């Protein structure tokens, strides 16, 4: 193929076609004393040379330089567009290759290296995103019970209050406190206390509605649930399931005191969307749920108390 020829061979071929062959033809005409034919050939050749000077120059430039440069430019544009699978088609490597073939071979090598490094970088980015998500999950989850932690609760309760204020809907905040938790730790040991918390975490998770309610370990032996919806009966039913199932599998005879506080978007609108009012509503909601738990404990525990905000 022509592109495999070295530049000096291309020049030799061009000179042969343009100068040597016509020169031999002219010598033949002179030797055969065809004077008129020589004059005619010279005149025609001169006219043709002048008229084809620019096209021949362009062809010469394309033959030696432009075609190869355009191919290399297309190669580079493919890399720029992220296409790393379009290599130059080359023969087996030889010791004495044309320079342009060597350049193409080196460009193929660079493309393979770019492709490898791009794939490695993409893999590292994916790993980094996965690690980032893993660390985020760890920062929002309680390691013992696998429920959301207090930090996550602070974010979610704010979202619920703001969303409720906009939509004029409602939700419920349920606080769960373990009766006689200190007694379990003192008599059975802290490992038993940890088993109690794990058991309660599983019961809370299994008793709430997936993709609707959110369960948290609020701190120590305190748990809480954000219950979506406007019906108090639904929140009480969930609380009753948690209380009943825990009593069936409790550690050390412990029970649960549960308090439910109802939050209505109607009562909070329209000012509840302001930052200070959102914080006040959250504080009042937590105080109400905490007071409901206190009333359940005051009744002797193993009780559910519901209150309006």
What angle is formed at CA 73 by the lines to CA 67 and CA 78, rounded to 5 degrees? 130
pLDDT score, position 31: 65
276 or 71: which leads in pLDDT? 71
Structure-model confidence comparison of residues 45 and 215, the more confident one? 215
d(CA 260, CA 262): 7
DSSP-derived 3-state class of residue 289: helix
Residue 119: which pLDDT band, with cuts at 50, 70 and 90?
confident
**In the predicted model, is pLDDT for residue 270 greater than 60?**
no
Q: What is the mean pLDDT of the chain?
A: 81
Closest CA to 244 of 293, 197, 289, 304: 304
DSSP run (H or E) holding 177: strand 170-178
Compute the CA torsion angle 267, 271, 273, 274 (nearest 10 deg): -140
Structure tokens belonging to residue 198: 């794990």
Nearest to 273 by CA among 171, 165, 172, 168: 165
Position 269 pLDDT exceeds 60: no
**Nearest 10 degrees: Cα torsion 76, 77, 83, 84:** 0
Of residues 99 and 16, more confidence is placed in 99
pLDDT given for residue 168 in this prediction = 66
Report percent pLDDT > 70 for the chain: 73
Domain residue ranges in the chain? 2-117, 150-308
CATH dotted code for 150-308: 3.30.70.270
Answer whether residue 234 shows pLDDT above 60.
yes
Token pair belonging to 165: 């204020």
Distance linking the first and last C-alpha atoms of the chain = 87
More confident residue, 261 or 308: 261
Question: What's the pTM value of the predicted model, to 2 decimals?
Answer: 0.60
Of 262, 258, 248, 239, nearest to 296 by C-alpha is 258
């Amino acid at each position: 193929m022509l592109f495999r020829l070295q530049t000096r061979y291309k020049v030799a071929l061009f000179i042969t076609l343009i100068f040597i062959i016509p020169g031999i033809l002219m010598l033949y005409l002179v030797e055969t004393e065809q004077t008129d034919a020589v004059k005619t050939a010279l005149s025609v050749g001169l006219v043709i040379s002048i008229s084809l000077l620019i096209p021949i120059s362009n062809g010469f430039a394309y033959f030696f330089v432009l075609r190869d440069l355009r191919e290399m430019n297309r190669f580079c544009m493919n890399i720029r567009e992220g296409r790393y699978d379009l290599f130059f088609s080359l023969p087996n490597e030889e010791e004495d290759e044309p320079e342009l073939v060597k350049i193409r071979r080196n460009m193929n090598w660079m493309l393979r290296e770019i492709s490898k490094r791009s794939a490695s970088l993409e893999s590292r980015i994916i790993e980094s995103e996965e690690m980032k998500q893993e660390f985020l999950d760890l920062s929002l989850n309680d390691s013992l019970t696998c429920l959301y932690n207090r930090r996550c609760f602070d974010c979610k309760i704010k979202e619920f209050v703001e969303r409720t204020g906009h939509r004029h809907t409602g939700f419920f905040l349920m606080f769960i406190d373990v009766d006689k938790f200190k007694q379990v730790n003192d008599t059975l040991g802290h490992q038993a206390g940890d088993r109690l918390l794990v058991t309660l975490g599983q019961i809370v998770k299994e008793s709430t509605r997936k993709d609707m309610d959110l369960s948290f370990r609020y701190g120590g032996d305190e748990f809480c649930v954000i219950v979506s919806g406007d019906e108090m009966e639904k929140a009480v039913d969930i609380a009753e399931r948690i209380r009943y199932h825990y009593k069936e599998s409790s550690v050390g005879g412990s029970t649960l005191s549960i308090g439910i506080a109802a939050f209505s978007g109607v009562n909070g609108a329209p000012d509840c969307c302001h930052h200070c009012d959102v914080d006040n509503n959250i504080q009042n909601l937590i105080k109400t749920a905490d007071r409901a738990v206190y009333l359940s404990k005051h009744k002797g525990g193993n009780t559910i108390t519901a209150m309006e905000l």
